[in-house]
Amino acid sequence: MQEIDILDYHLHSFFSIPSSRFMDIPHMVEYAKVKGVTILGTGDIFLPKWKEQISKNLSFENGFYYFGDFPFILTGEVNLTFERDRKKSFHVVLAFPTIKDVEEFEKAFKKFSNFEIIARPNIKVTPKEFVRILKNINPSVPIILAHIFTPHYGALGSSNNFESLKEIFETDFIDNLFIETGLSADPKMVYSVSELRMYPILSSSDSHSPTHIGREATATKKASGFYELFENLKDVSNNFTIENFPQLGKYYLDGHRKCKYKTNDFSVSICPVCGKYLTKGVLHRVEELGKTPQNNVSTLKYFYFIPLEEILNRTYKKSEQGKIYLTLISEFGNELNVVLFSDLNDVALFVNDKTLRYLEHIRNGLLNFEYGYDGVYGDWEVKVA
């Protein structure tokens, strides 16, 4: 069987608001191993204080940065902000082969940003100019459009109201560009938009705490270093992603959080409670751009995932959960194996009937959802037989 890597590249350090104080290198690695992630992004690579932590804790060898035997790639998120009729902005995750490439990036964009202040720096430049400058630094630096459909900071989110990437970047194709699904979308939704089928899809946790590492991730052929990793990630036919059920994402449906109102009726744009505009959710946005998302099939394989602790919270008494969790990790290696990949006949030897039924329902997508909307995460329960 071919060896694979499970990559979670989009994360935030404990310096980033509102991250957990445990988002340091040792805790990130500890939780990644338990979750089943084999390569992490550092996140926040532009923040000087975090960069110091990375320099102290990680050593470069054979194309990756290592903490002990665990590999990292250097990643950071930026917010492109620019005028196009009005102010618009969206988030981009960047990955760098070396610290030197990071320094060259900061030098080139210094006049457009301040890299000393926040973990996700604002870069005031047009998307077209951003790509031009970046390619002059190192054309191998991948551009990852973060959570592409989310309303406020997704490149194709409702706040920007762009119709296409061509409109955004003023070109037909961008080399080394990747699309990130985000927690409120999955590959089928992404590839329902015909233009996006030109680009490889990635998924990542956007985690601000160790417990959320791996809630979304990307699996690909095992790589010996940075460049091989991203070449492998372009080969969609050999990859798969780990996906949050998009219905649970906090921007899935249209709605208004303050009034606790949500709807899947796309003809409703005004909150009936207060009269203000609803926040247009990802499902609505995908329908606008892709027209018929339900009729499209992704060329990328993917698996929906619910964290193991979340399952055990519903199937065991609180006093029993910790022991069962540790037993399962000891027997099957990590959470991804327990929830998705191990034979359920083997898992059944260690869990009660209710847990086994929950795992079966999750693997088969047989869940009922309380949909997420306007910054509110959704909830789930197994369907009653």
52-97: pLDDT as tens digits? 999 999 999 988 999 999 999 999 999 999 999 999 999 999 999 9
86-96 vs 301-304, strand pairing mode: unpaired
- Partner residues linked to 232 by β-bridges: none
Closest-CA residue to 145 (of 162, 259, 136): 162
pLDDT band at 298 (very low <50, low <70, confident <90, very high): confident
Q: For 204-243, write each residue's pLDDT tens digit.
A: 999 999 999 999 999 999 999 999 999 999 999 999 999 9
User: Coil, strand, or helix at residue 29?
Assistant: helix
Structural tokens at position 170? 């003023």
- Partner residues linked to 40 by β-bridges: 8, 72
Residue 1's pLDDT is 41
Q: For 153-203, write each residue's pLDDT tens digit.
A: 999 999 999 999 999 999 999 999 999 999 999 999 999 999 999 999 999
Query: How far is 75 from 62, CA to CA, in rounded Å?
Result: 18
H/E element holding 336? helix 335-336
Write the single-letter amino acid at 274.
C
122-124 vs 70-84, strand pairing mode: parallel
